[in-house]
Structure 1
Amino acid sequence: MATTEVPVLIVGGGGCGLAASVFLSDHGVRHLLVERHPGTSRMPKAHYLNQRTMGIFRQHELDAEVAQQGACLEKFGKLRWLTSLGGEGPLDGLVIQEMDAFGGGALRETYEAAGPVLPVKLPQVRLEPILRQHAERRNPGQIRFGHELVTFAEEGDRVVAQVREVGTGEVTTVVARYLIAADGGRTVGAALDVQMRGLPGFLEVTTAYFSADLSPWWREGTLLTHFLHPHDPDLSSNLIEMGPTWGKHCEEWVLHFPPGDPQRYPEESIVSKIREVLGLPGLELTLHQVTNWSVESLVADQYRVGRVLLAGDAAHRQPPTVGLGLNTGIQDAHNLAWKLAAVLTGRAPDSLLDTYQAERHPIGRHNVDWAVSAALHHHAILEAVGVGQHTAPQRRERSFAAFIDPSPIAAAARARAAELFATHRGGCQAHDVEMGFAYEQGAVIPDGSPPPPREPLRDVYHPTTRPGHVLPHAWIERAGRVLSTHDLTGSAGSFVLIVGPKAERWRDAAAVVAEKLSVPISTVSIGVGAEFTAADDRWLRVRDITDEGAILVRPDNHVGWRSRGTGANPADELAGAIGRILESVGPARA
């Protein structure tokens, strides 16, 4: 039996596992990825890449290719509620409501101010091949599809695993310092008796993946179209573009039927049901796949068990509302990669990995709860308006009629409905959920400052350099070259010390500390007469330090520490800060 030794073994080759591979390669960490399936996802699955994820992709030089294949905001920046696409009746093709979503329309200006890149729509069936190509290019020969984990055990300072090639049955022993479980929770977490807390399988959904030409009827620029059937609530489904062309000439689609017993939609009836939902009885379509799946609300009680670290769906599973599932998983991998690199190079003790749980578990819990809340609220809106799945038939009939009735009473009903629909911004305009999250404990040093205000529906993002938060984006210039503050960290894994134009003492301290601790630190000054000048007044408004101050940014673009002014002993203070970040001790390990 052959034996392979690597610092890290990744189990799972979906979006999270492949992203982890790319990030580890960029940090110079050797690893092996195994995935039991022969190829990447055959179902579109998650399709919204939020602004924080696209910023991470920019850091690792993935954003341009993702954006090139994906849909831009003009192609997906709205939600719409319709009765149908086609049909000749008075209630057919009726727009019940529409609103800007995920950075589109009137939201665009605030999103552009918040980051160097905007959200992109690209389903997993098209994203994963991009990630796989980059993973294989950056780690040749070590991305192995068609290989499954058979057994694993922690033995002292290593994990010993048996990996089988599915096609031949050949088994290889893999010895690794650490194992990343990005397997969706199928194998590793269960073997370790990790408990998934929450609601398992509380709703059942049937999804149809098909091709059709909807160009004569399609309303462009929609991320998600909710169909509210006037007569049959079991046909109140939602439709999503899946590319590869975006807009009116999109070829592939996913339609989610309303939650309920999958037996309502036997596979032989799916084609006719799709035609009914769309109001297009003569539509020619090709059905690719029908899946029945469970909506879950689960978070692992432990993200770390010994030398095993859980990420993505292995650590948290939630409804697709707000588009947080894949994004949270990719951000898990991003948080973990630089910490593994620091530990494996000897710059940090193993205890730094405990901060993965301390930082990411609260975010996972919040995002799962937020997705559930948004889903329940959306259904509550529909019931309140009188067009929900459980609305009594008589009231349903009157409510739909009000959308075409010219009377003053009907106009009032429409106005009330519009105000109720507007509260769905917590589901489709939750910019603060995407960008405003912070690590309150872990590999950060709080400075006693209060967190920024948060709107109840999380639709306003307040950038801040408070430790634990994502570094605020601002455009800066040097010798005619324009960069984002997010570009200062790059992908090589160094810390960045951003200082004011009068902070020479911090610059000198960084050089001393980098040599003393053998930790790479890049120093960048921003301001009038400094190395970089601000392209506008944004950096001055968000930096929250004086011209003599300093902000220490971690390799993952989260602020680790800051000093608003000159310290009494900058070298000692900076050395102490980096030492505390790298030697942070989180919750006790299992």
Structure 2
Amino acid sequence: MAYDVPVVVAGGGLVGLSIALFLRRRGIETMVVEPHLAPSPLPKGRGLNVRTMELYRAAGLEQALREAPPSVLTGLPEVIHAETLAGAERFRATRPSDAVFGAASPTTPLTIDQNVVELVLREHAVRAGVDLRLGTRLTRFAQDAFAVGAYIGDAPRAPVRAQYLVAADGHRSPVRRRLGVGVTGPGVMARYVNIPFRADLTGPLRGRRLALCYLDRPAAGTILARLADRDQWILIVPRDLVEDVTPDRYPDLVRAAVGTPDVEPRISRELLDPDGRPPGWDLAAWVADRYKVGRVLLAGDAAHVMPPAGGLGGNVGIQDAYDLAWKLAAVIRGQAGPDLLETYEPERRPVAERSCGFAVDLQSSRGAGAAGPGRRPDPVAMVLGQRYRSPAVTEGPADDGRPEGRPGTRAPHVPLVRAGGPVSTLDLYGEDFVVVAGPRGGPWVEEARRIGLRVHRVGDDLADPEGGWAAAHGVTDSGAVAVRPDGYVCWRAAAGPHDLAGPHDLAGPHDLAGSLARALAVSSTDPLRATANLGGVDEPT
């Protein structure tokens, strides 16, 4: 069947551009339609967490992002609650330092504004050959069992025929609404407006490295945040507070929040709406009831919305994109069955639910003047300890939420040496399925090669100077793990076939070929087609 393009992405923001780049890296042509010509000048997100940076590292984008203009929040890790900026603090919280993740990842989080990230992604998307159509939108679509017809622009003559449509078109998502997909969650928790201004707040800051302030003046629920530089700020106040306030009184609201009457704020009128009023937004929390309807899939804010506390929303969306991209690529290239896409929702929706719940609790507690919702989770476990449960992994025993090499968890980071230079185990993944075996895991190496998988063996092409690989993965030196293109363990044998209890062969629960074929929704009689070279890169080991 003829298609104009394999994938159309509705929405060219953070998530839409990410999925397009992840697909192009796997050789899949992608069209992105985005109604806005430029990113919003007001950054919606202010940082990329360590898991997101691992994914951009695998996609070859980490260096470009680190070389981009830094956020004004760089080096400003503190969050407070007080009556006013000049008043006494009721609590203080500090963003986890990069050192927290040092033993868990080869990379670190990056404090960077979302609008800057989007500019970097746009540049790389064009360079990678993404068909990026700015200033246009998806006006309607229709699908059947074989294709999606996407109508692009205001007066399209004919639809663009695609195999799949990805909706990354924001929290209002016309695609989600047309599909009739409902949402579950608290919904709208508060309605705010943004008043951008410039002022020298050196005095009331008192040398504090503040990124964000929850305040009780001029009204409970007020938030004060830095914007683009040290003297540019944004005052976020409840919408009903400004309904009867004329623009000339906005400086009074700023003075009330700061708590010093001699502050002379200059309202940044170029960032107001055309009518001179401050732009509004809803603080909301919900998760879509479905992530896939036929050949249409939801990602990012089209699939989930969460409060900004914790900075999880955009990061969860980028991680949606990576999970979906490798699965779409495998199906489109005929290396996996269509049912592989049915694992997208059971893997990613629970992550959104947990993240949304945490963000709601954190936002509510900070707004009420508490440091957080009771005992805060380990930041490493929160960001890196998510576990997938779906047919795309071979189930193992229940885990405690920390990444320890169990099937369904992110593969651990272990420093190794390859070709004389340092390498993380995570740098071995990202293109296709990979098997890594211990020094005595020869049978697993042979089996992996028999079915066409890329394979590495510790003690052969990989050196383990610290001797930590086996313990980190929960195996002995005769064991092995299989890792998906997204860096998640999908199969594990704790030891070699002759060291395992039960039949001394490669069948049963330790059947590597059968496990991967089931994960990819293909016949186990054709393991080579099912598992080989999913990333389109064939490198000798």
**Fold match (TM-score > 0.5):** yes
Alignment of 1:143 with 2:79, yes or no, is no
Contact 2:481 2:491 in 1 (8 A): yes
In the other structure, the counterpart of 1:193 is 180
C-alpha distance in structure 1 between counterparts of 2:21 and 2:489, whole Å: 23
- Confirm or deny that 1:163 pairs with 2:101: no
Give the Cα–Cα distance (whole angstroms) in 2 for the partners of residues 236 and 79 of structure 1: 14
Residues 172-202 of structure 1 deviation map (CA, whole Å, 9 limit, x = unaligned): 5210000000001421111111111223323
- Counterpart-to-counterpart distance in 2, 1:76 and 1:569: 57
* Residue of structure 1 aligned with 2:102, choices 106, 109, 112: 112
Residue aligned with 1:486, SS: helix
Offset at 1:444? 0.7
**Alpha carbons 2:72, 2:226 under 8 Å: kept:** no
1:421 pairs, out of 345, 356, 371, with 371
For the residues of structure 1 that align with 2:236 and 2:266, how far apart are their CA atoms? 16
Distance 1:328 1:222 in 2: 27
Q: By how many angstroms is 1:551 displaced?
A: 0.8
Q: Distance in 2 between matches of 1:179 and 1:75?
A: 40
Q: 2 CA distance for matches of 1:75 and 1:174?
A: 46
Which residue in the other structure is 2:535 paired with?
Answer: none
Whether the 8 Å contact between 1:6 and 1:32 is mirrored in structure 2 is: yes
Q: Deviations over 1:33-92 (max 9, x none)?
A: 00112222232111121111111111112222223333599613332335555xxxxxx3
Q: State the match for 1:542 in structure 2.
A: 472
Distance 1:531 1:220 in 2: 52
Q: How many residues are matched?
A: 504
Match of 1:98 among 75, 92, 103: 92
Helix, strand or coil at the partner of 2:279: strand
Name the counterpart of 1:75.
Answer: 75
Of 567-576 and 47-56, the range deviating more from structure 2: 567-576
Give the drift of 1:584.
7.9
Distance 1:32 1:223, change over 3 A: farther
| Structure 2 CA distance for aligned equivalents of residues 115 and 302 of structure 1 | 32
Instruction: State the 1:543 CA deviation.
Output: 1.6
Cα 1:153–1:236 change in 2 (3 A) is closer
User: In the alignment, is residue 557 of structure 1 matched against residue 487 of structure 2?
Assistant: yes
Cα deviation for residue 421 of structure 1 reads 3.2
Paired amino acid for 1:363: V
Find out whether 1:272 has 2:252 as its counterpart: yes
2:505 equivalent in structure 1: 569
Q: Return closer, same or farther for 1:581/1:227 CA change in 2, 3 Å cut-off.
A: closer
2 CA distance for matches of 1:443 and 1:316?
A: 22
More deviation, 169-178/127-136: 169-178
State how far apart, in whole Å, the 1-side matches of 2:150 and 2:120 are.
28
**Distance in 2 (alpha carbons) for counterparts of 1:255 and 1:425:** 29
Query: In structure 2, which of residues 394, 398, 416 is the aligned counterpart of residue 450 of structure 1?
Result: 398
- SS for the counterpart of 1:322 is coil
1:173 aligned partner, one-letter code:
P
1:120/1:259 CA distance change after superposition, 3 Å? farther
Question: For residue 443 of structure 1, what is the amino acid of its counterpart?
Answer: A
| CA deviation after TM superposition for structure 1 residue 471, in Å | 0.9
CA deviations over 1:267-292 (Å, ceiling 9, x no partner): 44333312331245333434223322
Which letter maps to 1:435? L
Say if 1:170 and 1:580 are closer, same or farther in 2 by CA, change over 3 A: closer
2:442 matched to 1:525? no
Deviation at 1:426, TM superposition (A): 2.9
Q: Aligned runs of 1:58-69 on 2, under 5 Å?
A: 58-68=57-67, 69=69
Among 118, 121, 134, the alignment partner of 1:131 is 121
Paired AA for residue 149 in structure 2: V
1:289-328 to 2 correspondence within 5 Å? 289=272, 290-328=278-316
State whether structure 2 residue 333 is matched by structure 1 residue 345.
Answer: yes
The question of whether the paired residues in 1 share the 8 Å contact of 2:480 and 2:494 is answered with yes
Tell me: CA distance 1:5–1:210, structure 2 relative to 1, closer, same or farther (3 Å): farther
What SS is found at the alignment partner of 1:275?
helix
User: CA–CA distance in 1 between the matches of 2:350 and 2:398?
Assistant: 18
Cα offset for 1:468? 0.8
Structure 2 residue aligned with 1:153: 142
Match of 2:162 in 1: 176
Unaligned 5+ residue runs, structure 1? Answer: 86-91, 383-419, 455-461, 515-520, 586-590
Structure 1: which amino acid aligns with 2:222? Answer: S
Aligned to 1:395: none
CA distance in 2 between counterparts of 1:179 and 1:463 reads: 33
The residue aligned with 2:362 is 374
Q: Where do residues 468-507 of structure 1 align in structure 2 (5 Å cutoff)?
A: 468-490=408-430, 493-507=431-445
Give the match for residue 237 of structure 2.
257
1:362 is aligned to 350
Take 1:303 and 1:351, find their aligned partners in 2: how far apart are those partners?
A: 14
* d(CA) in 2 for partners of 1:505, 1:190: 52
What code does the residue aligned with 1:239 have? L
What SS does structure 2 have at the residue aligned with 1:75?
coil
How far apart, CA to CA, are the structure 2 residues paired with 1:322 and 1:119? 13
State the Cα deviation string for residues 97-130 of structure 1 (Å, max 9, x = none).
32332x22xxx43311121111122222211111
Whole-angstrom distance in 2 between the partners of 1:48 and 1:554: 26
Q: 2:476 is matched by which residue type in structure 1?
A: T
Paired with 1:218 and 1:578, the residues of 2 have a C-alpha distance of 56
Counterpart code for 1:43:
L
Going from structure 1 to structure 2, the CA distance change for 1:476 and 1:270 (only over 3 Å counts) comes to farther
Contact 1:551 1:562 in 2 (8 A): yes
**How far apart are 1:134 and its partner, in Å?**
1.2
The CA RMSD over aligned residues, in Å, is: 2.8
Misfit runs of 4+, over 6 Å: none
**Secondary structure, in 3 states, of the residue corresponding to 1:255?**
strand
Distance 1:211 1:19, change over 3 A: farther
> C-alpha distance in 1, partners of 2:513/2:24?
27
Instruction: Give secondary structure in 1 for the equivalent of 2:416.
Output: strand
Moved more, 350-359 or 191-200: 191-200
Deviation of 1:266 (Å):
5.1
Structure in which a larger fraction of residues adopt helix: 1
What is the letter of the counterpart of residue 561 of structure 1?
W
Q: Residue by residue, what CA displacement relative to the aligned partner does 1:382-413 show, whole Å, maximum 9, x if unpaired?
A: 2xxxxxxxxxxxxxxxxxxxxxxxxxxxxxxx
Change (3 A) 1:534 1:223: farther
The one-letter amino acid of 1:274's match is: V
Summarize the Cα distance change of 1:212–1:442 in structure 2 as closer, same or farther, 3 Å threshold. Answer: farther
Q: What is the CA-CA distance between 1:251 and the residue it aligns to?
A: 4.9
Deviations 1:531-566 (A, max 9, x none): 222353543442211111111110001111111111
- Taking structure 2 as the reference length, what is the TM-score of the superposition? 0.86
Whether the 8 Å contact between 1:116 and 1:484 is mirrored in structure 2 is yes
Which residue of the partner structure matches residue 213 of structure 2? Answer: 226
Secondary structure of 1:323 counterpart: coil
Please list the CA deviations of residues 408-458 of structure 1 after superposition, one character each: whole Å capped at 9, or x if unmatched: xxxxxxxxxxxx63756638x6442211111122411102x1212x5xxxx
* 1:162 counterpart SS class: strand
Provide, for residues 146-167 of structure 1, a one-character-per-residue CA deviation record: whole Å limited to 9, x for no partner: 1111111013300012101x6x
Instruction: Quickly say closer, same or farther: Cα 1:73–1:275, change in 2 above 3 A.
Output: closer
Contact 2:148/2:163 (<8 A) preserved: yes
What code does the residue aligned with 2:181 have?
V
Please say if residues 224 and 233 of structure 2, whose CA atoms lie closer than 8 Å, have aligned partners that are also in contact. yes
Contact 2:336 2:522 in 1 (8 A): no
Provide the C-alpha distance between the structure 1 equivalents of 2:244 and 2:102, rounded to a whole number of angstroms. 44
Look up the match of 2:531: none
Aligned partners of 2:438 and 2:470 also within 8 Å: no
Alpha-carbon displacement from aligned partner over 1:189-223 (angstroms, at most 9, x marks no partner): 11111111223323112222344454566577856
The match for 2:29 is: 30
Counterpart of 2:536 in structure 1 is none
In the aligned structure 1, how far is the partner of 2:473 from the partner of 2:245? 55
Given that 1:299 and 1:316 are in contact with CA atoms closer than 8 Å, whether structure 2 keeps it comes out as yes
Task: Give distance in 2, aligned partners of 1:221 and 1:583.
Answer: 55
